[in-house]
């Protein structure tokens, strides 16, 4: 009995939607759909470039993981160190030993890209910025960010601090997919800190001027030029547009809008729900006679809109399987078609375990059969 690796159970496409030609000025760019991770557009996506403050996507990710794991709470008070206060660049001018909640520091990082708050959070999570950077690089490896090496938690210029458009999309997806609470900060256009005495205006103009914008992070330095990981959601589909090394701030937002509009106009997500309940499958030599099949969790398809309208389903199930059966064992396939074209084949899996019958159970069955036949 063949078992499927868990991530493949949620989605099994016959092919990733083709990345179509889109005109953007940025030398590196990428468009990714959040739920499936499908790449919808790519241009020079693996070239290593300086990310500037888009680096902070990873800083936010590790901080949110610390919050969600219980290591921190939004109300945890963070004390600013001399090191954090020395960052320069974009900041809210923390003073040494000033205390601010994790929530307010997250707001400052997301809205105005505060370097001082990014480092203060890094120190709170890992004890020092150096230790935090080790975690950043370890997490990057875990996410498959093979083009990336971080040297700090801020994105301030440092030799060897590089990533790629593809890797930025990977960490951005991890953040918005598994830590949706980050939206409470990334969607802020204007706000204040310190009882209204510190004004904040989001560096990400998409939040104010693009329908459905949800975040995420801007960045710019003299060498990195203008970078952006911009996210937006429409009709239940969230997209990630990554722009690297654009010549101007305005151009990065125009390029991001071009990619996002392309994605929203061309693609759609469809949640697949079975047309009818699945019948049980017979189990040979099992402790019970049947096993109940179920469609793999997820069942979300990313399709071109032209193919997403009238979908049909065909179910193929095994007539019998042999025990033992484990949850996740494949029992059949749901084929989804658009007209004559097959657009996806989704695995149908065992939803329960059925152990192999023991000799004692077999003997008892034989005795019952013999008794009932007399």
Q: Is 310 exposed, middle or buried (0-12, 13-18, 19+ CB in 10 A)?
A: exposed
CA distances to 28, 55, 157, 158, 247 from 164, in Å: 8, 11, 16, 16, 17
Q: Is 48 helix (H, G, I), strand (E, B) or coil?
A: coil
Within 10 Å of residue 106's Cβ, how many Cβ atoms?
A: 25
3-state secondary structure 302-341: EEEHHHCCCEEEEEEECCEEECCECCCEEEEEEEEEECCE
CA distance 59 to 120: 11
Question: CA 245, 250, 255 angle in degrees (round to 5)?
Answer: 65
Q: Is 308 exposed, middle or buried (0-12, 13-18, 19+ CB in 10 A)?
A: middle
Handedness of CA 175, 177, 179, 182 (dihedral sign): positive
Give the tokens for residue 42. Answer: 């790519």
Q: Is 192 helix (H, G, I), strand (E, B) or coil?
A: strand
- Among 68, 59, 25, which Cα is nearest to 44's? 25
DSSP 275: S
Q: Which residues are annotated as catalytic?
A: 53, 56, 113
């Amino acid at each position: 009995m063949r078992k499927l690796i868990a991530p493949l159970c949620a989605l099994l496409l016959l092919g990733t939607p083709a990345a179509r030609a889109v005109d953007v000025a940025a030398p590196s760019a990428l468009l990714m759909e959040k739920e499936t991770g499908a790449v919808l557009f790519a241009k020079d996506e693996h070239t290593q470039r300086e990310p500037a403050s888009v680096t902070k996507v990873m800083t936010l990710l590790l901080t949110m993981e610390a919050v969600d794991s219980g290591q921190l709470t939004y109300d945890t008070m963070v004390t600013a160190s001399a090191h954090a206060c020395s960052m320069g660049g974009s900041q809210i001018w923390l003073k040494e030993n000033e205390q601010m909640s994790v929530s307010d520091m997250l707001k400052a990082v997301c809205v105005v890209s505060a370097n001082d708050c990014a480092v203060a959070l890094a120190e709170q999570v890992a004890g020092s910025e150096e230790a935090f950077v080790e975690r950043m690089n370890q997490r990057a490896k875990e996410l498959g960010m093979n083009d990336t090496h971080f040297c700090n938690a801020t994105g301030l210029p440092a030799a060897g601090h590089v990533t790629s458009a593809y890797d930025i999309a990977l960490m951005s997806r991890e953040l918005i997919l598994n830590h949706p609470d980050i939206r409470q900060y990334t969607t802020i256009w204007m706000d204040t800190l310190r009882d209204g005495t510190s004004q904040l205006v989001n560096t990400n103009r998409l939040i104010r001027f693009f329908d459905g914008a949800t975040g995420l992070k801007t960045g710019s330095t003299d060498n990195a030029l203008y970078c952006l990981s911009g996210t937006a959601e429409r009709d239940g589909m969230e997209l990630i547009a990554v722009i690297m090394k654009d010549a101007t701030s305005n151009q990065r937002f125009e390029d991001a809008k071009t990619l996002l509009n392309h994605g929203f106009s061309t693609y759609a997500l469809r949640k697949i729900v079975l047309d009818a309940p699945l019948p049980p499958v017979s189990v040979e030599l099992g402790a019970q006679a049947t096993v109940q099949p179920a469609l793999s969790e997820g069942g979300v398809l990313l399709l071109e809109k032209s193919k997403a309208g009238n979908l049909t389903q065909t179910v193929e199930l095994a007539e019998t399987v042999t025990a033992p059966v484990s949850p996740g064992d494949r029992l059949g396939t749901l084929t989804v078609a658009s007209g004559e074209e097959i657009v996806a084949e989704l695995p149908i899996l065992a939803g329960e375990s059925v152990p192999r019958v023991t000799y004692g159970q077999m003997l008892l069955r034989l005795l019952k059969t013999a008794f009932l036949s007399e």
